[in-house]
Amino acid sequence: MNTNNIQIDSQGKLRHLLKIDGLSRSHLTQILDIADQYIAYNQHKYSALDSLKNYTSVNLLFENSTRTRVSFELAAKRLGVEVINFDLSTSSIQKGETMLDTIHTLQAMHCNFFVIRHSENNIVEFIAQNVNHEVAVINAGDGTHAHPSQALLDMLTIRQHKKSFEHLKVAIVGDIRHSRVAHSAITALPILGCKDIRIIGPDFLLPESKITGVEMFRDMKKGLEDVDVIMMLRIQKERIKNTSLPDIQEYYENYGLTPKKLKLAKPDAIVMHPGPMNRGIEIDSSIADGPQSVILQQVSNGVAVRMAIFSVLAETLAL
Amino acid sequence: MNTNNIQIDSQGKLRHLLKIDGLSRSHLTQILDIADQYIAYNQHKYSALDSLKNYTSVNLLFENSTRTRVSFELAAKRLGVEVINFDLSTSSIQKGETMLDTIHTLQAMHCNFFVIRHSENNIVEFIAQNVNHEVAVINAGDGTHAHPSQALLDMLTIRQHKKSFEHLKVAIVGDIRHSRVAHSAITALPILGCKDIRIIGPDFLLPESKITGVEMFRDMKKGLEDVDVIMMLRIQKERIKNTSLPDIQEYYENYGLTPKKLKLAKPDAIVMHPGPMNRGIEIDSSIADGPQSVILQQVSNGVAVRMAIFSVLAETLAL
Amino acid sequence: MNTNNIQIDSQGKLRHLLKIDGLSRSHLTQILDIADQYIAYNQHKYSALDSLKNYTSVNLLFENSTRTRVSFELAAKRLGVEVINFDLSTSSIQKGETMLDTIHTLQAMHCNFFVIRHSENNIVEFIAQNVNHEVAVINAGDGTHAHPSQALLDMLTIRQHKKSFEHLKVAIVGDIRHSRVAHSAITALPILGCKDIRIIGPDFLLPESKITGVEMFRDMKKGLEDVDVIMMLRIQKERIKNTSLPDIQEYYENYGLTPKKLKLAKPDAIVMHPGPMNRGIEIDSSIADGPQSVILQQVSNGVAVRMAIFSVLAETLAL
Beta bridge partners of B139: B116
pLDDT for position C3 = 46
Q: Which amino acid is at A139?
A: N
Helix (H, G, I), strand (E, B) or coil at B98: coil
| B154 and B70 assigned to the same domain | no
- Stretch C93-99: mean pLDDT, rounded? 68
Asked if C82's CB is within 8 angstroms of A66's CB, the reply is: no
Distance CA C255, CA C243 (A): 15
How high does pLDDT run on average in chain A?
Answer: 88
**pLDDT band, very low/low/confident/very high, at B1 (cuts 50, 70, 90):** very low
Residue A205 — pLDDT band, cuts 50, 70, 90? very high
Residue C74 has pLDDT above 80, yes or no: yes
* DSSP output for B10-50: TTS-B--B--STT--HHHHHHHHHHHHHHHHHHHTTPPP--
pLDDT, tens only, C14-63: 888 888 888 888 888 888 888 888 777 665 555 556 788 889 999 998 87
C237 lies in the same domain as C180: yes
Question: Of C45, C66, C296, which has the smallest distance from its Cβ to B87's Cβ?
Answer: C66
Q: Residue A41: pLDDT band by 50, 70, 90 thresholds? A: low
Quick one: average pLDDT of C131-160? 92
Q: How many CB pairs under 8 A join B and C?
A: 68
pLDDT at B93: 55
B101: contact with C, CB 8 A cutoff: yes
Q: What average pLDDT does range A127-154 have in this prediction?
A: 92
End-to-end CA distance of chain A: 27
Do A304 and A290 have their domain in common?
no
Mean pLDDT over the full length of chain C: 88
Same domain assignment for residues A281 and A168:
yes
Residue-wise burial string across A82-120, b where 16 or more C-beta atoms lie within 10 A, e elsewhere:
bbbbbbbeebbbebebbbebbbbbbbbbbbbbbbbbbee
Q: Are residues C179 and C47 in the same domain?
A: no
State whether B92 and C48 contact (CB < 8 Å).
no
The subunits that touch chain B, with at least 3 C-beta pairs less than 8 Å apart, are A, C
Residue-wise pLDDT for B96-136, tens only, equals: 678 899 999 999 999 999 999 998 888 898 999 999 999 99
Q: Which residues in chain C have their CB less than 8 angstroms from residue A48's CB?
A: 53-54
The nearest alpha carbon in chain C to B84 belongs to C70
In this structure, the answer to whether residues B153 and B48 fall within a common structural domain is no
Task: Express as a percent the part of chain B with pLDDT over 70.
Answer: 90
For residues A121-131, give the mean pLDDT: 90
Distance, CA of C291 to CA of C270 (rounded, Å): 9
Arithmetic mean of pLDDT, A220-238: 92
- Distance (Å, whole) CA C207 – CA C218: 12
C215 forms bridges with which residues in the sheet?
A: C198
The pLDDT value recorded for residue C282 is 95
CB contact under 8 A, A296 and C108: yes
Of A43, A66, A300, the CB nearest to C90: A66
Our count of domains for chain C comes to 2
Residue B92 pLDDT class (50, 70, 90 cuts): low
Question: A316 at the B interface (CB within 8 A)?
Answer: no
Contact B111 C74 (CB under 8 A): yes
Query: Does B162 contact A at CB distance below 8 Å?
Result: no
Average pLDDT for A154-176: 95
Give residue C123's domain range: 4-147+301-316
A315 in B contact zone (CB under 8 Å): no
Predicted local distance difference test score (pLDDT) of residue A300: 92
Q: What is the mean pLDDT of chain B?
A: 88
* B53/chain C closest Cα distance in angstroms: 7
Q: Is the pLDDT of residue C66 over 90?
A: no
**pLDDT tens digits, one per residue of C251-308:** 999 999 999 999 999 999 999 999 999 999 999 999 999 999 999 999 999 999 999 9
Least confident of B42-46, B104-108, C152-156, C165-169: B42-46
Shortest CA gap A104–chain C (Å): 27
The lowest-confidence range among A22-26, A37-41, B78-82, C262-266 is: A37-41
pLDDT at residue B248, rounded to an integer: 83
Residue B26: burial class (beta carbons within 10 Å; 0-12, 13-18, 19+)? exposed
Segment A222-232 mean pLDDT: 98
Are A293 and A305 part of one and the same domain? no
Can you give the CATH number for the domain in which A287 is found? 3.40.50.1370
Looking at the fold, whether A33 and A106 belong to one and the same domain comes out as yes
pLDDT at B5 over 60: yes
Q: Is the CB of B104 less than 8 angstroms away from the CB of C296?
A: yes
Query: Does the beta-carbon distance from A106 to B70 stay under 8 Å?
Result: yes
C199 and C84 part of one domain: no
pLDDT surpassing 70 at residue A18:
yes
Which has more pLDDT, B192 or B25? Answer: B192
* DSSP code of residue B236: P
For position A48, what pLDDT does the model report? 56
pLDDT greater than 70 at residue B260: yes
pLDDT recorded at residue C318: 77
Instruction: Say what the pLDDT of residue C92 is.
Output: 52
Q: Is the pLDDT of residue B229 over 80?
A: yes
Q: Report cis status (omega within 30 of 0) of the bond before B276.
A: yes
C202, C306: one domain: no
The average pLDDT across A43-70 equals 79
Percent of chain A clearing pLDDT 70 (strictly above): 90
The reported pLDDT for the residue numbered B28 is 85
pLDDT computed for residue C1 by the predictor: 40
Which region, left, alpha or beta, applies to residue A141 given φ > 0 means left and ψ of -120 to 50 means alpha? Answer: left
CA distance C46 to chain B (A): 6
Please indicate, yes or no, whether residues C173 and C51 belong to a single structural domain of this protein.
Answer: no
Q: Does C248 touch chain B (CB under 8 A)?
A: no
**From A11-15, A139-143, B35-39, the region with the lowest mean pLDDT:** B35-39
Is B136 found in the same domain as B154? no
